[in-house]
Amino acid sequence: MKRLCTLAFTSVIAANAAYADFSLDSRYVDNDNDLVADIPTDKSKLTDPSTLIFAYTPVEDPAVYEDVWSDFLEHMEDVTGKKVKFYPVQSNAAQIEAMRAGRLHVAGFNTGSNPLAVACAGFRPFAMMAAADGSFGYEMEIITYPGSGINKPADIKGKKLAFTSQTSNSGFKAPSAILKADFDMLPERDFEPVFSGKHDNSILGVANKDYPAAAVANSVLHRMVERDVVKADQIKSIYKSQTFPTTGYGVAYNLKPELQEKIKEAFFTFNWKGSKLKQEFKSEDQFLPITFKEHWNVIRKIDTANGVSYSCK
């Protein structure tokens, strides 16, 4: 993949880390102060692709999720009148670069990479999965395996702790902030940080005793246990966080406004009953309207605590 931008992020785990207020890349404008890129008013800057490209956050095997999303993408085709193709991205950075370059039109970005996608790729999130009663989200859990000798976060001192990637909320940002604030534990000083790349890699790594501990999204863990990828008795949780917003779904900022509305319609009119999406996401029943400004406020606060800053080139 040709690299059309550099996605730079720096995490400084320090008491007085400098942090700039959240802002968009200079190529975007935000006149309504909702923290996401405005739709261009210049019609020459709008796009109306004949085929919409959709990508789901790369938390697990993309081949599995291409089938999981097939019913939904057929529904999107019916509503929009466009062909829709699933794009199996291998990393958060690749997903963000694809949208920034105009090759990705509709996407679900994971919790932690949403701010980067919004700031650097013109991502306009508007929905996330929720239960019938409107409840949503997941927790970060720090897991180990039975017999590891680790019974609480402090026991990780002197050992390895697996993170997923630096753009992940539950796989890096939240545990970094929590370990520092609540347990006075810093990477390199108190434990050796390693990066697995994905939540499923971290979970399998703990289950197979390759990692003594890992920080993961429990939504991914629950789905892997339900699919019998790992056994529940291979994993022991030693910490569970507050509830965080889950994957945010949205569109590229420069799609024609009427097309953006049709895509939203596809999300909010999808019938979950009996669908492959429902079979995979068993506790979910709907796409709930959200705003980046409100629902990702806690994530931006975690970024602040970690001294995270984003720049796009």
- Give the start-to-end residue ranges of the domains of the chain: 7-134+245-312, 138-244
- Cβ neighbourhood burial of 311 (10 Å; 0-12, 13-18, 19+): middle
Count of beta carbons in the 10 Å neighbourhood of residue 128: 24
What pLDDT, on a 0 to 100 scale, did the predictor assign at position 149? 97
| Spacing of C-alpha 9 from chain mean position | 15
> What does the DSSP assignment read for 84-131?
EEE---SSHHHHHHHHHTTS--EEEE-TTTHHHHHHHH-EEEEEEEE-
Position 217, amino acid: A
Smallest Cα–Cα separation from 246: which of 86, 115, 116, 108? 108
Contact 186, 216 (CB under 8 A): no
What pLDDT, on a 0 to 100 scale, did the predictor assign at position 306? 80
Q: Could you tell me the CA-to-CA distances from 61 to 57, 191, 200, 258, 307 in Å, in that order?
A: 10, 29, 8, 33, 31
pLDDT in tens, the chain (313 residues): 223 333 333 333 232 233 346 889 999 999 999 999 999 999 999 999 999 999 998 866 777 789 999 999 999 999 999 999 999 988 889 999 999 999 999 999 999 999 999 999 999 999 999 999 999 999 999 999 999 999 999 999 999 999 999 888 999 999 999 999 899 999 999 999 999 999 999 999 999 999 999 999 999 999 999 999 999 999 999 999 988 999 999 999 999 999 999 999 999 999 999 999 999 999 999 999 999 999 998 898 888 888 877 777 6
Query: Terminal CA-to-CA distance of the chain, rounded, Å?
Result: 16
Write down the pTM of the prediction.
0.79
CATH code, residues 138-244: 3.40.190.10
C-alpha torsion angle, residues 261, 27, 86, 295 (rounded to 10): -60
CATH topology assigned to domain 7-134+245-312: D-Maltodextrin-Binding Protein; domain 2 (3.40.190)
Contact 73, 54 (CB under 8 A): yes
**Which stretches of the chain are DSSP H helices?**
62-68, 70-80, 92-100, 114-121, 174-183, 199-207, 218-226, 257-268, 276-280, 292-295, 297-306
Domains 7-134+245-312 and 138-244 share a fold: yes
